[in-house]
Structure 1
Amino acid sequence: MVSLEQAVAAPFATRQLADLGARVIKVERPGTGDLARSYDTTVRGMASHFVWLNRGKESIELDVKTPAGREILHQLVARADVVVQNLAPGAAERLGVSAELRETRPELITCDISGYGAGGPYSDRKAYDLLIQCETGLVSITGTEETPSKVGMSIADAATGTYAYTGILTALLHREQTGQGSALEISMLEALGEWMGYPLLYTVYGGTPPKRAGASHATIAPYGPFPAADGRIINLGLQNEREWSRFCEVVLELPALTTDPRFAGNAERVANRAELDTAIAKVFATLSSEEVVERLEEAGIAYARQRTVAEFAEHPQLAARHRWRPVRTPAGEIQALLPPVTFADGTPDMRPVPALGEHTEPILRWLRET
């Protein structure tokens, strides 16, 4: 697989394929490489995004703007099963690595990733994660009532990379069955748009968008964060009237609330959320977080401790399931999470993160010898 990739969306797709054992040759600009290499220096001098997204790949420095560089690129593409690119609009066509390659190699799988897709008034626009969050309406339903907010990670890129990954796997299966490749196109707008399905339907057919509710659920109550007496936050998740009754009786020890007309059903609880939250907070203020958890466990109510990212890194469930693995990088070994799909008869191939141009000479030698 040859990937002319940068930033997040395409590298996320190809890293997942690399974890499955694919040979991914990553084409990078001489001197600077993938722009994600310089996002920060938090992982022993390396960028956290780059380390996350690029293990298991081979890096070749190639100036594709020169005739010699383009010739090497075309040699690589001629040997590839899959070509992935998320270059600026029009760049792939100028380099001769677009879906048109399939005119002479119908067995090839091409995957073009862009912000808005080909055609339409937005097709030539550059796109970044925050901008797509804004264009899909995600920012408008995220945050508090007073402050719209972006999601705290690159969710548009992650959605796009996920669909590119699954699309390529589907195309490989199709080729195995028919001998024919595929020309795939994934746009960030449409990928995140799919993940916006619930708020989109709720808005179009309900007449109003889901309200911004911070960490609480916009349309279910009680569902969200509540502080215990020791300051720790416990997030509740109630889904039905049976759970509501158990919550009132066992956790709050206020069985009368089950017949209170203000809280008779979920719609009433949402409409009277302020009074409901006050009643819950008053009880939780008398209990430590461990006492709250004990009552929730007894009642069979879903809950979660509100952890920091650092606390997530120490999560006991990850440790119990042995989800951490060492990965080599140019700056030394780090710990990384296993991919979320567990294979009963094998483990992912979590190979090293490449230094810029680390594989240039071996790849050139391979081209000369094959």
Structure 2
Amino acid sequence: MSKALEGITVVAVEQAVAAPYASSRLADAGARVIKIERPEGDFARNYDKLVKGQSAYFVWLNRGKESICLDLTVEHDRALLEAMIAAADVFIQNLKPGSIKKLGFGSADLRKRFHRLITCDISGFGDGGALSHLKAYDLIVQAETGLCAITGTSHGPARVGVSVCDISAGMTAHNAILQALFERERTGQGTSIQVSLFDAVADWMNVPVLQFDYSAYATARAGVNHPSLAPYGAYRCADGKDVVFSVQNDREWVNFCTKFLKRPELTRRPGFADNMERLSHRAGLDEIVSDRFTQMSSEEAMNELEMAGLAYGRLNQVEDVSTHPHLRRVPVSTPEGDIQVIAPAAIFNGEKAPTFQAVPALGAHSEALRKEFRCSSGAPLARNTTP
């Protein structure tokens, strides 16, 4: 696997999902990531006990890191963190808004002291505004951004089934940190980065918001159907299995009617001529499409969809995904034994099974890190300051 970030040191005062996602990807790329945990540990360690007695969230997002427990209300531990930051390239934090500044590690102050340092603050609602002081967990942000309002069925809204706001913020932070590292190569100067969960997912909401702003189009909750393309969704077959398929353009609509439905006259029926008309007559269209799917098994339906040149897939359950032929897994060592995690999406130089470092036990590196970053006149020389 690419180790492009070897030699880069990251200090992360982090918890939960968003910041650990960003720092785990930096660790995967070879960066040294020092994870600062409270004496009781990152609370994500206790989200569940479902992976050999460990949290699925934690073992997913903390491989390859060094764990040290610090009590940042204690002066000696704050001095130790200061020494670590002085020797770091990147500082990431996602504590409750205002907490890190009260402890003396606000990004603005750090950037004044360490001009080459890249700081990344991850929050729920950003650094200003009416809601910026609030704790913000994933479901809260899903609700605030309107994501829940367009997710679910006509019977009511729903939560996206994974922590999409946290993950989106972590991905955004990771991308921004890489940009900042590249910028520092050119200028010698660090960068201050702020990422909020709200902003990360609000960006993903551009299509429904633009549709509303400029056409007053209200995105309807459509279950396992596309809200603004038809036909596009899941249909039940004779064997009780659901198949998802898509019609994205006029050519595919003609092929679908002619080759799959065996009803070419539908392409000329009033109300079905283009996508916006089909959306307005979706109930009648779905009745025709559903009737055709009930006449064949899921395998027969997928074969015919493929022959018609249409995109299709299975409406899989988690157990189906676990054994999916395209799912790549890689081994990771944890304090309770080796596990298999799903590999990250990017493949470097054809290497489909990268090697990852272990998930740390709580405070596994505390003693070694305290010795390395000793808080005395013999402390390591800061490397991110400018003369």
TM-score normalised by length of structure 1: 0.96
Match of 2:333 in 1: 328
Is the 1:18–1:349 Cα contact (8 Å) retained in structure 2? no
Q: Which has the higher helix share?
A: 1
Match of 1:44 in 2: 52
State the 1:348 CA deviation. Answer: 4.7
Of residues 129, 147, 155 in structure 1, which corresponds to 2:156?
Answer: 147
For 1:194-213, what per-residue CA distance to the aligned partner results, in whole angstroms no more than 9, with x for missing partners?
11111111111121321111
In the alignment, the residues of structure 2 paired with residue 349 and residue 13 of structure 1 have an alpha-carbon distance, to the nearest angstrom, of 18
- 1:78 paired with 2:86, answer yes
- 1:363 paired with 2:369, answer yes
- 1:337 paired with 2:346, answer no
Of residues 240, 254, 272 in structure 1, which corresponds to 2:281?
Answer: 272
In the alignment, the residues of structure 1 paired with residue 350 and residue 316 of structure 2 have an alpha-carbon distance, to the nearest angstrom, of 33
Of residues 1, 11, 14 in structure 2, which corresponds to 1:2?
Answer: 11
Between 14-23 and 93-102, the greater mean CA deviation after superposition: 93-102
Of residues 288, 301, 304 in structure 2, which corresponds to 1:292?
Answer: 301
Match of 1:256 in 2: 265
Give structure 1 stretches of 5+ with no counterpart.
none
**Secondary structure of 2:299 counterpart:** helix
State the 1:262 CA deviation. Answer: 2.7
Between 225-234 and 93-102, the greater mean CA deviation after superposition: 93-102
Match of 1:162 in 2: 171
Between 52-61 and 247-256, the greater mean CA deviation after superposition: 247-256
In the alignment, the residues of structure 2 paired with residue 19 and residue 325 of structure 1 have an alpha-carbon distance, to the nearest angstrom, of 12
Match of 2:73 in 1: 65
Is the 1:98–1:112 Cα contact (8 Å) retained in structure 2? no
Match of 1:234 in 2: 243
Percent identity (aligned): 48
In the alignment, the residues of structure 2 paired with residue 138 and residue 164 of structure 1 have an alpha-carbon distance, to the nearest angstrom, of 20
In the alignment, the residues of structure 2 paired with residue 120 and residue 272 of structure 1 have an alpha-carbon distance, to the nearest angstrom, of 42
Is the 2:330–2:355 Cα contact (8 Å) retained in structure 1? no
**Secondary structure of 2:313 counterpart:** strand
Give structure 2 stretches of 5+ with no counterpart.
1-9, 381-387
Of residues 328, 334, 350 in structure 1, which corresponds to 2:356?
Answer: 350
Match of 2:147 in 1: 138
User: After TM superposition, where is structure 1 displaced by more than 4 Å over at least 4 residues in a row?
Assistant: 345-349
In the alignment, the residues of structure 1 paired with residue 122 and residue 16 of structure 2 have an alpha-carbon distance, to the nearest angstrom, of 12
Is the 1:38–1:47 Cα contact (8 Å) retained in structure 2? yes
In the alignment, the residues of structure 1 paired with residue 219 and residue 178 of structure 2 have an alpha-carbon distance, to the nearest angstrom, of 35
In the alignment, the residues of structure 1 paired with residue 264 and residue 218 of structure 2 have an alpha-carbon distance, to the nearest angstrom, of 33
